[in-house]
Amino acid sequence: MSESVAHTGHVDTFCADHLPPAELMPVRHWDAIPELAYPSRLNCAVELLDAVYDDRPAIRYPGGEWSYRELRDNANRIARVLVEDFGIVPGNRVLLRGANTPMLAACWFGVLEAGGVVVCTMALLRERELQYIAQKAEIALAITDARVAVDCEAAVETPVLRFGGDDPTDLTARMRDKPAEFTACDTAAEDIAIIAFTSGTTGQGKGTMHSHRDILAITDCFPRYVLRPSANDVFCGSPPLAFTYALGGLLLFPLRFGACALLLEQATPPHLIKAIEEFRPTICFTAPTAYRAMCGMLAEHDVSSLVKCVSAGETLPLSVFEAWKQATGIAIIDGIGATEMLHIFISASGRNIRPGSTGKVVPGYEARIVGDDGSELPDGTVGRLAVRGPTGCRYLDNPDRQREYVQDGWNLTGDSYVRDADGYFWYQARTDDIIISSGYNIAGPEVENVLLEHPAVLECAVVGVPDEERGQLVKAFIVLKPHTSGDAALVKEMQDFVKARIAPYKYPRAIELVTALPRTTTGKLQRFRLREVSG
């Protein structure tokens, strides 16, 4: 079925004007599952703030909760402030900045109701990073938590609207005089709703554009067919809402199913596990490193309320999966998604989980393994992962990168995978993380998984570094567990440990003990930085 076309609801056509050219667009299918048959006119904020659930709790947070009615009323008031006080017109980009709070969520919906385009940023970003995003997206307004307003005000040239402060011009004060009713903008389903910037693991982040229809699509694929939540669930997790993994898992998914979101301003593993004990959520979204860290805290915290746990952001080590299941009885639902694709497109849950595998293709999507020429490879062969479905990569004004990511309508995620005969996908490495040493292809994450089984290893990263004799050398950067001292004997022990468990040619011939590994603000490991210091 071809994509339906409806006249845009945007007056400001910036997003449409900066979409990739037609020949570089991904193929997007809308007939794979019945839930994707959306009307041509659609505002996803209206759909997600469904009045059916008015009296149910929508958001809980330390200090209180908002019902669906309260969330919608506040979003309506914010939309009125944007339109009546700041002259925002449909299609204007509005930058949001703040921690995970009910107010940030209300701003997200208020911008969309007003017909604006959300550009959500993390509170950890600094002036230079905010300036780049604001200029790239050509924002018309910035809305920021008053507590982190200084960098935002220094970075942008547009008006900055604070919330949560005591100034009479503050958004919170302006909302008090506004009615709780607002007629949402009549947007087309294909009008852009958000510009999400990638976390920038290899430089400045790239803006990815997603429509109102895309927003609903991710709520009707992975959660509906794999996660299968109910209205009685309470979702929690650690990533910031500017990260699309969190946007889905901590806001969109619970609201789509009449469930409740627990939003935490501080969600490092110690804070997250404490909140799980206190607020009793049933579903958790976080990264492998957090599950690993929380394993060591379970003796002091009750997490028995949890029923389902989801991991994404980077590959889930088998050792973490097994440790969490042994400690809690819960098999972690692994998944791979991408900012470019908006959310998870390969996963498995329940009895369909095969430990060590990412899972099968999520209904609504299709995936295959391809060679360098784009041709499909047979099962059991390592190749590049190619995906397509209702969502797809559309970079903001970046045709060169678009040409690399989208080829023949397929999205090439930058991951190496193997698909088995049963349709399960097994992660190998990022395509630039394959180490070629003495003619052998070695996947760094495979070596990492073995090292993580060693009792002295807390975290590790394995990369290829230049070597005159072998072309590349396998090098491991290792963070030891507390109260563990590293010496030459321990290094040799760890090398022998790897040799005994996988092919000896894969063992790390170089090991460097470090106090921390470089990560992005979203927790992704930055292997390129390790290669740079070893080059």
* pLDDT confidence of residue 471: 76
* pLDDT confidence of residue 4: 43
Q: Which domains does the chain have, with CATH numbers?
A: 214-430 (3.40.50.12780), 438-534 (3.30.300.30)
Q: Which H helix or E strand runs over 311? A: strand 308-311
pLDDT tens, position by position, 95-146:
999 999 999 999 999 999 999 999 999 888 888 889 999 999 999 999 999 9
Six-digit token string for 409: 């309508």
- Residues in contact with 183: Cβ distance below 8 Å, sequence separation at least 6, in sequence order: none
* pLDDT confidence of residue 531: 86
pLDDT tens, position by position, 25-34:
999 999 999 9
Strands 410-419 and 425-430: antiparallel
What number of CA atoms fall less than 13 Å from residue 329's CA on the CB side?
5
Quickly list H helices, 240-317. Answer: 244-247, 253-256, 269-279, 288-295
Spatial distance between the Cα atoms of 258 and 415, rounded to a whole number of angstroms: 34
Q: Which residues of 106-135 are buried (b: 16+ CB within 10 A; e: fewer)?
A: bbbbbbbbbbbbbbbbbbebeeebbbbbbe
Cβ atoms of 517 and 451 closer than 8 Å:
no
Nearest to 2 by CA among 34, 36, 28: 28
C-alpha distances out from residue 93 to 158, 246, 256, 265, 311, Å? 11, 21, 24, 25, 31
Six-digit token string for 194: 């958000």
The list of the chain residues with pLDDT below 70 reads 1-5, 199-204, 432, 439-441, 522, 535
> What is the model's pTM?
0.85
